[in-house]
Structure 1
Amino acid sequence: MRADVKLDFDTLKAAGTHMGSAQVRAIPAGVCIVNEAARLFAYLAKENCAICVPCRVGTKRVQGILESAYSGLGRESDLAWLDELGTHMERFSLCGFGITAPSILRTTMREFADEYRAHIVERRCPTNTCSPVRSRRYETMAQP
């Protein structure tokens, strides 16, 4: 979300986001947004209740794809796969936690598309702050 957006329900909805847990994070310049999104999804993967599959598996899968991306193992198809995972979580999760978790992904992919493309297509971190955490990709047959 941009800094020029008012923090009220209607304005946030019009901007394509929501207040969620009423937490606002200011990410300083020089922080890699792809790494930060992966870190947030690692937190979400630990904090979800694990009752429904879309949230339990979706948060871990998004975390893994983002970690692969900033480890230099991303593929261009990952962008579409992340979007599909977000949609699946929003549509099929059983509670607000899983339904709103993809908003982090959607917001960062929309507002920082160049950083995602740099990591996935060019295999470089625009902020030069990422250290690889994976040496190989973990894939399933369903993954494009």
Structure 2
Amino acid sequence: MLRYYWKNLTDRGVVLKPDLVVQTRDRVLVVDVTVRHEDRDYLENGRQEKINKYTRLLPQLKERFGASEDKVVPIAIRSRRGMPKSTMGDLKSLGIKDRKTALTLLLIAVRSSIELYHTFMELGVHVLPTATCVS
């Protein structure tokens, strides 16, 4: 059985909203996408930020879903030149092993980020950046 969970989660009074929580028979995965510029170490920093942010939810989710295994799966995507090897490895933990599917996900994530940017910039609305749900 495979289930997806999209609700806000709370840890010690802090509301966290990962893009996706995936539950299979024996594991629970917290998936969150970040699109970053590839200069310096922004991409690896973004990946690590996602891990640090959502790791604290794992015990709660593991108990809620009765999972024996848990993992934060950060999907870090370069804003201009594709996906790093670490992201391909993370996608494999979701069962996505072929490059074509991975590149399709990359294009969807980048397009969604661009649409969000234009929506808020054209309206003059300033919001804190949040990840989008790519499904």
Same fold by TM-score, threshold 0.5 exceeded?
A: no
Give 1 or 2: higher helix fraction: 1
Q: Which has the higher contact order (CA 8 A, sep 6+)?
A: 1
- Structure with the higher fraction of residues in strand conformation: 2
TM-score range, shorter chain: 0.3 to 0.5
